[in-house]
Structure 1
Amino acid sequence: MTFTKAKMVTMLSMLILFFSFCVLFSSPANGQGPPSAYQVLQDYNLPAALLPQGVVRHSLNRTNGQFLVDLPGVCYINAWGFKIKYNPTMTAVISQNLLSDVDGVRVKYIWFWAKIISVFRYGDMIELRGKLFAQWFSINDFISSAQCNN
C-alpha cells in the first residue's frame, strides 16, 4: 500500500482533528475538572457536610438527578446527636433543596438502625426523614464534614 503526499496530509489532518475533539470534549469548560460530590450538594443548595470526609468517586446524571457516591468502605460518624452509618455506595435522586430515594445511609434511632429516605432543606433548617422518624436540624449543624471513625 503506497501513500501519496495528499493521502498522508489528509490522514494527518484527520488525526489532528480527532485529537482536538478528544481534548475539547474531555476537558471541562472552566479547566478545574468536574465538581466534587460536596460541590454537587452545594450546587443544589444542600450542605456539603451531609457527606463524610473521604468520598473517592461520585457521579451525577443531570437529566434525572441520579446521584451516586462511593466511599472507601463502610463509614460510621457521630453527628447531630446520632450515630450514622454510610455504606460504601450511596445513591439518591438530587434536586434543588432535596435528596430523595436515599439508599445506603442509616441512623441509629433509639436502639435500631433506621434508613434515611430523604433530606430536605427548608430555609435554614434541614430535615432528615426515615420511614419511622423525621428530625429537623439547623443548617449551622452542617458546617464541616465529619471524619469516619470505624
Structure 2
Amino acid sequence: MKATWAYDRGDHRDNHETDVTDPAVLEALLHEIHQAGEPVAVTIFSDTTDDPDELPPGLQIGLGHPTHAFAVHIADDGGYLNDPTVQTPDEDISFDLGGIPTECGAENLRLRPATAIQIAATFLKNGGKQPHFPETT
C-alpha cells in the first residue's frame, strides 16, 4: 500500500508519498506526522484510479490537531469512524488535503489521534479490509 499526504506551503505544495507494508512502520510514520502539529489528511490506499481527481479506495485519516482526528473509509460502503465517548469539538478543523486546506466538519472529528493511528495500522495489517473502531477490553 501507499501513504500520501501534502502541505500547502503558500508558494508550493510539499507532497509526500511512501510505500507502507509494515503496520509498526506505518504507526511510527503517522506518530511523526501527528507530532509535527500541522493538521493534514493522510491517505492510505493500494489501488489508484483512472481519474486523478478521484480518491482511490482506502482509508484517510486526519492528524496533527492536538486532541481530535478523523478516519474515513473511502469506499462505496465507507464512512467516518467515530468514538461515541469523544466529545465533538466546538468548531470544524481545517486539514491539508492534498495540499489544499479543507474543513472537516466537527461531527466527523470524534476520534483521538492515537485511535486514528491504530485504525490505520489495523487497516494495513488486514490488507485494506473495511476498518472498524478498535475493540476495548
Assess same fold via TM > 0.5.
Answer: no
TM-score by length of 1: 0.26
TM-score by length of 2: 0.28
Which structure carries more strand by proportion? 1
Choose between structure 1 and 2 for higher RCO, CA contacts under 8 A separated by at least 6 residues.
Answer: 2
Which has more radius of gyration? 1
